[in-house]
Amino acid sequence: LIESIRAEIRKTVPPEQYDQWFSRMEISSITDNSITFAVPGDSIKNRICADYLEFISSIVYKLLHPSFEIDIISAEKPAITTQMQLQSKDNDISNANASSMNIVSLSSINKRYTFENFVVAAYNRMAHAAAVSVAGSPGYAYNPLFIHGASGLGKTHLMHAINNFILQQGRLKTFYLSCEHFVNHYISAIQSNNMEAFRKFYRNVDVLLMDDIQFFENSYGSREEFFHTFNALYNDGKQIVITSNYPPESIAYMEDRLVSRFKWGLVCGISTPSLETRAAIVEKRAAAWNIKVSHESAVYLAENIPGNIRELEGAIARLSNEAKATNNAVSFDFIRKVSREISGSKKTVSIEAVLGAISKKFNVSVSELLSKRRTRTVALPRQIAMHLSRKLTNMSLTEIGGYLGGRDHSTVIHGDETIIKKAGNDKNLSFIIQKLEGELLK
């Protein structure tokens, strides 16, 4: 991440200034809604705070989409986060390694993500049950546990829930980190010639929770290193939990030997929650925030903020502010306003762009995509259009269906789900879709 941020900064800031202010900037910690950067010394910190805070914030937004609060601290040495310090109290090896290796922010614990406040429904029942089993008997239930699903559907929540549960028992050393952190850590270990310590550190945990493994992408070295870490932990009966936005075999760049290991335990997918389930989540969340939301409003929100639970939560957070101001009664008008703002502020793609990209890729005309023809050469691209339109545009299911030659919303759902299923079993198709998506989001 820091590399991508630096690259963005370099695009705009002249080299001398870059060298002076940003070349030694590191990420000190990341939480759900804030990123803290560490820079060497107060004068650099003050200068960045004065002149570049907005700029960095916009870069982070561009790279990560949700807005994060940005904080700059001055630190001669990068900070090491708390879990590692907690865990290494009785373990001076990893403490010594940590500082000597220049590890920047490794593990974060999110106390809010527990099993208690996770809503279970058909779409995530299996993943939830598996996570509960793993938390109850790490190393014995399913190893590794591999959870995949689209963004915002609760993978990270489940991982933290496992972590929190095990930490409560207090006997095992757990380590939660994102794949990006692993890659950064690996790179810094190489640079400081400290692989020995790196390996010791990872092989010393009882439970390794690695989030978003798709971010390994083009870092062959770190995948190789992870392969060895995996083997060492697995052979010692240590629990491994992995998440990804795609099933193992569909992750671009993933070597077969890793893919096959990921399948040794249990692979489970989280699909898209149904409208009713999302409405139920809205109601439950609203109740937890002590906001009265009518069933009609909950359904409206669920319908208009499709797919992603993270965004629904953002909407509820907005409602909560309004509720405070209006004695808990949130009007339907306000709900409509919030949902418009949220779906309108999303980075989205037009359906025309989706169809254009698909038409080019599959060599079928847009009018064929909209037509009633159902031969395979048209049907598959059309279903991909449904999938990508649902994922990337602001349009409702009914609108997408309408645009695509007057089909109804259930046809769009069917097309979308067919593609998700097919892509899960077909690496080629999955690559094509990932590429189309990447191009459209550029």
Tell me the closest approach of the beta carbon of residue 33 to ligand ADP, in angstroms: 10
**Binding site listing:** 152, 154-156
Give residues 80-119 in contact with ligand ADP (rule: CB under 6 A).
Answer: 113, 118-119
One DSSP character per residue, 60-84 reads HHHHHSS--EEEEEE-SS----HHH
Phi then psi for residue 112, to 5 deg, are -75, -25
Taking every pair of Cα atoms in the chain, the longest distance, rounded to a whole number of angstroms, is 68
Pick between residue 97 and residue 304 the one whose CB is nearest to ligand ADP.
Answer: 304
Give whichever of 86 and 317 is closer to ligand ADP, judged by the CB atom: 317
Identify which of residues 203 and 310 has a Cβ nearer to ligand ADP in the complex. Answer: 310
**Please, is 99 exposed, middle or buried when counting C-beta atoms within 10 Å of its C-beta (0-12, 13-18, 19+)?**
exposed
Among positions 139, 152, 402, 405, the unique one binding ligand ADP when judged by CB under 6 A:
152
Q: Are 355 and 368 in contact (CB under 8 A)?
A: no
Give residues with Cβ within 8 angstroms of 314, minimum separation 6: 66, 342
- Shortest CB 155 distance to ligand ADP, Å: 3
Residues of each annotated binding site for ATP: 152, 154-156
CA proximity to 134, closest of 269, 266, 271: 266
What tokens does 247 get? 């099933």
Among 29, 124, 229, 250, binds ligand ADP (CB under 6 A): 124
Helices (H), 102-209: 125-136, 155-169, 179-191, 195-203
Q: Which does 154 bind (CB under 5 to 8 A by kind): ligand ADP, Mg ion, none?
A: ligand ADP
Question: Out of Mg ion, ligand ADP, none, which partner does residue 313 contact, by CB within 5 to 8 A per kind?
Answer: ligand ADP
Interacting partner of 309 out of ligand ADP, Mg ion, none (Cβ under 5 to 8 A depending on kind)? ligand ADP
**Closer to Mg ion by Cβ: residue 251 or 293:** 251
- Nearest approach, Cβ of residue 212 and Mg ion (Å): 6
Q: How far apart are CA 151 and CA 347, in angstroms?
A: 14
Window of 153-161, 201-209, 374-382, 409-417 that interacts with Mg ion by CB under 5 A = 153-161
Q: How far apart are alpha carbons 227 and 100 in whole angstroms?
A: 24
Q: Which of 27, 80, 153, 338 binds ligand ADP (CB under 6 A)?
A: 153
In this structure, how many other beta carbons lie within 10 angstroms of the beta carbon of residue 316? 25
Cα(36)–Cα(26) distance, rounded to whole angstroms?
Answer: 9
Quick check: 310 binds ligand ADP (CB under 6 A)? yes
The residue from 83, 143, 156, 389 that contacts Mg ion (CB under 5 A) is 156
**Distance set, CA 350 to CA 61, 321, 353 (Å):** 21, 31, 5
Query: From the CB of 150, what's the least distance to Mg ion, in Å?
Result: 10
Contact 310, 154 (CB under 8 A): no
Residues 340-359 that bind ligand ADP (CB under 6 A): none
428 burial type by CB count under 10 A (0-12 exposed, 13-18 middle, 19+ buried): exposed
The neighbour count for residue 228, using CB atoms within 10 Å, is 12
What is the footprint of ligand ADP within residues 252-291 (CB under 6 A)?
281
- Judged by beta carbon distances under 5 to 8 A according to partner kind, the member of Mg ion, ligand ADP, none in contact with residue 143 is none
Query: Helix or strand or coil: residue 269?
Result: strand
Distance CA 97, CA 202 (A): 11
Closest contact distance (angstroms) between CB of 34 and ligand ADP is: 15
Least distance in Å: CB of 407 to ligand ADP?
A: 29
Residue recorded with tokens 């980075």: 347
Nearer to Mg ion, 273 or 381 (CB): 273
From 88-96, 100-108, 151-159, 331-339, span contacting ligand ADP (CB under 6 A)? 151-159
Please identify, using beta-carbon distances, which residue of 207 and 404 lies nearer to ligand ADP: 207
By the 10 Å C-beta count (0-12 exposed, 13-18 middle, 19+ buried), 406 is classed as exposed
By the rule CB under 5 A, 108 interacts with Mg ion: no
Stretch of 33-41, 100-108, 152-160, 286-294 contacting Mg ion, by CB under 5 A: 152-160
Size of the site for ligand ADP (CB under 6 A): 16
Minimum distance of Mg ion from residue 386's CB (angstroms): 25
> Kindly report the CA angle at 211 between 383 and 190, in degrees rounded to 5?
120
Q: Shortest Cβ distance from residue 127 to Mg ion (Å)?
A: 13
From the CB of 277, what's the least distance to ligand ADP, in Å?
8
Nearest residue to ligand ADP, using CB? 154
157 or 185: whose CB is closer to Mg ion? Answer: 157
Given the rule CB under 6 A, which residues bind ligand ADP? 113, 118-119, 124, 149, 151-157, 281, 309-310, 313
Given the rule CB under 5 A, which residues bind Mg ion? 155-156
